[in-house]
């Protein structure tokens, strides 16, 4: 059995502890600082790591990640499940999980969410995910599930279902990437962080509390290495609202906490919307003494007027251009979120009650690029034939591009009414290839010509 030894040497002058950690063949010497509820690393001054004789249970070097995000399950997003927010469709100030639980109060919020947790994703979903040839599920969860803060309105109970999900994944032969999707204070101000509005993650002790949340997830799940192969420290910390030196320090701290729990779990860091090569190459790579790190990048072409103005072939060309980019990173890289959508038409995608750039209904948008029609709300079968064709070509191009490195995880497995984002129904309809390595169309990333009919 691996042995863990913790040695702390206190320095009375600066309050810093020198720490040595040993687990199996992992040896780390670094600097740590005590925090409430535990500790976290300061950036390693010395770091010596020998490769573990035992490998991760998924080969991120030799196999491709092909997965889906179980979005909208443990972290609410109005556009994924608009029915949950329907009573506030015309106002009332409810725009995210924070205001949802605040408005309902703990008893009613728990009753409603418990029903949602029990039904949104079931064992049948895991079985179908595996049947489609996928090998990973990324499961977003908020800090409040494991480390709620004083004054938070959020309710708990998610872990019962997450425990169940780990078992379902094991039975289906799937690997799990746990993703801390929301941090105290919000790391990006998006509704998918749990709280829409200001970015206050680096205020007070929010970062330290996030480390505690990661430690709690790691303590509970990192030992299940046959299933939980990766833990993502934080989804989409915004570079424009955070000090990136603190973000990087948090990544070191989180890596240390996960890896001292289990040296056979990969650690995922998000790119903070910064260049995956020029900014992130050289950071936490094997050459710098840190192993088993996955860089997560999210690729959407819909959140600006310039992007929704693009023609279908321009979307394909942009996707293909990402291939060499992802291939040129110096650590494992997974495109952890992407979609079949070429517009921002899905109902409430830009926020509850908000319109779209594509049809000019979003406040501040600068043009009109088309009618959202059946892309606003409906089913995959209800999409126009031209939209189905454009989507199928676009998906294949993205598959070819993103598999030039470690692989991809589609957002999302299912939605209530956003058809271009619904992997399950897109696959059932034949718009995502089966098997996933097959192609209906000629290789689009090997030519500059537009292959989409009518474009």
Taking the C-alpha atoms of residue 425 and residue 427, their distance in angstroms, rounded to an integer, is 5
Rg (CA), the chain: 22
What's the residue count for the chain?
455
Backbone φ, ψ for residue 409 (5° rounding):
-140, 115
- Residues acting as catalytic residues: 236, 337
What is the torsional sign of CA 333, 334, 340, 344?
negative
Give residues with Cβ within 8 angstroms of 442, minimum separation 6.
451
CB 320 within 8 A of CB 312: no
Neighbours of 385 (CB within 10 A): 7
Taking the C-alpha atoms of residue 97 and residue 447, their distance in angstroms, rounded to an integer, is 45
Surface-to-core class of residue 214, CB atoms within 10 Å of its CB (0-12 exposed, 13-18 middle, 19+ buried) = buried
DSSP string, 368-416: -----GGGSSS-STTS-HHHHHHHHHHHHHHHHHHTTTTEEEES-S--S
CB 362 within 8 A of CB 376: no
* Selection from 105, 93, 194 nearest residue 142 by Cα: 194
Q: Is 255 strand, coil or helix? A: helix
């Amino acid at each position: 059995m691996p042995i863990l030894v913790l040695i702390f040497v206190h320095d009375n002058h600066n309050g810093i502890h020198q720490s040595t950690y040993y687990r199996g063949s992992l040896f780390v010497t670094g600097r740590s600082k005590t925090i409430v509820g535990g500790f976290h690393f300061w950036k390693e001054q010395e770091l010596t790591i020998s490769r573990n004789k035992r490998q991760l249970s998924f080969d991120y070097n030799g196999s491709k990640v092909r997965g889906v995000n179980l979005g909208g399950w443990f972290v609410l997003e109005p556009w994924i499940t608009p029915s949950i927010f329907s009573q506030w469709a015309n106002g009332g100030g409810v725009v995210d999980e924070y205001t949802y639980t605040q408005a309902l109060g703990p008893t009613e919020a728990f009753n409603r969410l418990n029903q949602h947790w029990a039904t949104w994703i079931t064992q049948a979903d895991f079985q179908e995910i595996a049947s489609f040839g996928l090998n990973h599920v990324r499961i977003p969860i908020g800090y409040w599930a494991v480390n709620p803060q004083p004054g938070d309105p959020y309710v708990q109970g998610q872990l019962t279902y997450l425990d169940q999900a780990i078992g379902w994944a094991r039975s289906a032969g799937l690997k799990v990437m746990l993703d801390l999707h929301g941090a105290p204070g919000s790391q990006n101000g998006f509704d998918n962080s749990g709280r829409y509005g200001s970015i206050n993650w680096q205020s007070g002790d929010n970062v330290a509390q996030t480390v505690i949340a990661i430690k709690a997830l790691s303590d509970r799940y990192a030992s299940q290495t046959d299933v939980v192969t990766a833990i993502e420290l934080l989804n989409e910390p915004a570079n424009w609202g955070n000090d990136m030196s603190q973000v990087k320090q948090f990544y070191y701290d989180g890596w240390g906490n996960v890896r001292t729990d289990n040296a056979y779990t990969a650690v995922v860091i998000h790119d903070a919307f910064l260049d995956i090569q020029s900014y992130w190459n050289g950071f936490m790579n094997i050459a710098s003494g840190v192993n088993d790190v996955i860089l997560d990048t999210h690729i959407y072409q819909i959140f600006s007027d310039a992007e929704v103005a693009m023609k279908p072939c321009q979307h394909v060309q942009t996707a293909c251009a990402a291939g060499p980019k992802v291939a040129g990173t110096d650590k494992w890289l997974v495109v952890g979120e992407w979609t079949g959508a070429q517009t921002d038409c899905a109902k409430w995608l830009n926020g509850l009650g908000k319109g779209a750039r594509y049809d000019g209904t979003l406040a501040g948008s600068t043009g009109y690029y088309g009618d959202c029609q059946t892309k606003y709300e409906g089913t995959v079968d209800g999409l126009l034939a031209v939209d189905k064709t454009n989507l199928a070509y676009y998906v294949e191009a993205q598959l070819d591009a993103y598999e030039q490195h470690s692989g991809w995880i589609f957002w999302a497995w299912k939605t209530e009414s956003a058809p271009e984002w619904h992997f399950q129904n897109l696959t059932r309809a034949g718009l995502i290839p089966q098997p996933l390595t097959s192609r209906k169309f000629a290789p689009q990333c090997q030519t500059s010509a537009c292959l989409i009919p009518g474009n």
